Amino acid sequence: MRRSPLRPPGWAAASGMAFCVLAGLVVTGHTELIAADASLSAAAYNLGERYPAVRAAAGRLTHLGHVAVVFTLVGGAVGTLPQRRRKQALAFATTAFAAGGLLRGAVRDWTARVRPERPGPPFDGYAFPSGHSSRAATAALVVAFLRWPELSPAGRAVLLAALVGWPLTVGASRVVLAAHWPSDVLAGWLVALTAGPVAASLTRALPAAQARPASSGCRGRGRRGAP
């Protein structure tokens, strides 16, 4: 049986609960969370101040979470699949990004968290959760889901390392640039870990419903059931 890394439904429940707890701590201004965010944020920003190369690298790597880059990479993963898998893959990717975007937008307005202070023009919008981190993590999960079944164990190890590094790199860049607090980045990852498995569960039934009539022509309903 071909398995994907998003199959366990418990991922969505656990990640969703963790996200809700974290959002609650942000809204209530939990002292320890605020202090940890401030300390880590200052350390990351100061690192970039001391080493301009780190700041420059963060400025480049943060683009890996931009909408255009994320959608281009995911579109390439979907477009290079066999024709029979593209419809389901597109439905899955669209659902994952839409669900993550809706959750992110609703919680961002609810928490109304300000971003870290830094010299220069401020970033637009509220801080919690990080959109760049959420998009990068969602894209990594989508690519993993689509490509996992066809890879060898060695290929899966390489893919996993690359896809874990993607959101980690984007998240770190957002903190170094003082665009987000560390907990904003964590929340963005949790959004992806919640929306990704849910989207996979919702769209996985699509090809099964289409393939079943084709493999059992004696039922007579196959042609009428096809879209």
Q: Is residue 4 part of a domain?
A: no
C-alpha 37/C-alpha 29 separation (Å) is: 11
- Domain membership of residue 152 (yes or no) is yes
Residues of the chain with pLDDT > 90, as a percent, come to 47
pLDDT at 57: 96
- Global pTM reads 0.82
Q: Which of 167, 166, 124, 130 is nearest to 41 (CA)?
A: 130
Q: Tell me how far apart the alpha carbons of residues 173 and 69 are, in angstroms, rounded to a whole number.
A: 16
pLDDT value at position 208? 43
pLDDT at res. 211: 39
Asked whether residue 224 is assigned to any structural domain, the reply reads no
Show the domain range for 169: 10-116+124-207
3 part of a folded domain? no
32 lies in a domain? yes
Asked, for residue 132, whether it belongs to a domain, the answer is yes
SS3 59: helix
pLDDT attached to residue 174: 95
Q: Is residue 33 part of a domain?
A: yes
Residue 1: inside a domain: no
Domain count, the chain: 1
CATH of the domain at 73: 1.20.144.10
Residue-wise pLDDT tens digits, 146-175: 888 777 888 888 888 888 899 999 999 999
